[in-house]
């Protein structure tokens, strides 16, 4: 399963950032990326994402709801979804594609593969696995 997740995540590289979108090649935000990979590896999304604003101050409600659909795991690993704190709130997510690499959608940049630097590691708020299909 992790190979499928990694291939699906990397297929989104270069997709422009678009708030609340989830269309490969056309646009997505971080949650839209995870939703799109879900559709590719696990089937139809089992939830409807509520509207959310850019710059949300508290925990992002879409991320909280999505986290309930995944399997919480203790360790980070290839193919895992990682939630990150921005300030005190959980407001960002990405998908691990290597031991220290992840794919995520970033404002003004789009979907990129990046190093899981010490700064990102300190912000990890939860690690999840896609359900096995």
- Paired strand residues for 7: none
Q: How many CB atoms lie within 10 A of CB 43?
A: 10
Burial class (CB in 10 A: 0-12, 13-18, 19+), 29: buried
In this model, does residue 44 exceed pLDDT 60?
Answer: yes
C-alpha–C-alpha distance, residues 16 and 26, integer Å = 6
Closest CA to 63 of 78, 85, 39, 44: 85
Dump pLDDT digits (tens) for 92-131. Answer: 999 999 999 999 999 999 999 999 999 999 999 989 998 8
Domain boundaries, the chain: 2-44+58-129
Give the per-residue pLDDT at 57. Answer: 59
Closest CA to 49 of 9, 12, 84, 19: 19
Dump pLDDT digits (tens) for 7-38. Answer: 999 999 999 999 999 999 999 999 999 999 99
Q: Are 70 and 1 in contact (CB under 8 A)?
A: no
Q: Which tokens belong to 121?
A: 């590691």
Q: Are 23 and 122 in contact (CB under 8 A)?
A: no
* Total-model pTM: 0.90
2-44+58-129 classified as CATH 3.90.1720.10: yes
CA 60 to chain centre: 12
Give the per-residue pLDDT at 68. Answer: 72
Closest CA to 68 of 2, 126, 4: 126
Dump pLDDT digits (tens) for 50-95. Answer: 777 676 655 565 566 666 778 888 899 999 999 998 888 888 999 9
């Amino acid at each position: 399963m992790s190979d499928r997740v990694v291939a699906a995540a990397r297929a989104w590289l270069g997709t422009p950032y678009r708030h609340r979108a989830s269309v490969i090649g056309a646009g997505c935000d971080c949650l839209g990326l995870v939703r799109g990979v879900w559709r590719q590896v696990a089937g139809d999304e089992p939830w409807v994402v509520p509207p959310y604003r850019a710059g949300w101050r508290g925990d992002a409600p879409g991320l909280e709801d999505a986290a309930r659909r995944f399997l919480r795991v203790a360790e980070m690993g290839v193919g895992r979804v990682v939630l990150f704190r921005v300030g005190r709130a959980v407001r960002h997510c990405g998908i691990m594609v290597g031991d220290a690499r992840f794919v995520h959608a970033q404002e003004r940049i789009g979907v990129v593969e990046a190093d899981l630097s010490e700064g990102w590691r300190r912000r990890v708020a939860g690690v999840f696995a896609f359900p096995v299909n």
